[in-house]
Amino acid sequence: MRAAGKGQSRFRSEPVPGERMETLRQLIQAFLEGDPATIREISQGVGASEKDVIGHMEHLTRSLPRRNSELVVAPAECEACGFVFRKRSRLRRPGRCPLCRSTSITEPLFCIRERK
């Protein structure tokens, strides 16, 4: 820690997050129970970084079956050649298409549905 200069506090003031009644994971789950959304939309909707949202969603994929629900993923698609990333297990948008090497790829959509 640096020494405090003139007009500076000795301790850095860290931003204090607002008080939440639900956990971030519960907020993400509630957001996904509505319309399908991208990682970016979820991130903006719950007020968390995309990296944090992805981490919580990976945990949700493991815990949802106990609640008789599942995470449904509409896969990303290459806008140039139409390749669909069906077998992709990662939640992030792919970097580029394996067929045409285009980086113009749509983001995957996510939602939570009850199992039948």
DSSP 24-92: HHHHHHHHHTSS-B-HHHHHHHHT--HHHHHHHHHHHHHHGGGGTEEEEEE--BBTTT--B-TT---SS
> Which band of pLDDT confidence, cut at 50, 70 and 90, is reported for residue 64?
confident
Residue at 104 is within a domain:
yes
Rg of the chain over Cα atoms, rounded to whole angstroms, equals: 19
Residue at 101 is within a domain:
yes
Residue at 66 is within a domain:
yes
CATH of the domain at 74: 1.10.10
Tens digits of per-residue pLDDT, 13-32? Answer: 666 555 556 788 889 999 89
Q: The domain containing residue 77 runs over which residues?
A: 24-114
Q: Does residue 96 carry a pLDDT above 80?
A: yes
Q: How many domains does the chain have?
A: 1
Helix axes 24-32, 39-46, angle to 10 degrees: 130
**What's the mean pLDDT in 29-44?**
91
Residue at 11 is within a domain:
no
Residue at 95 is within a domain:
yes
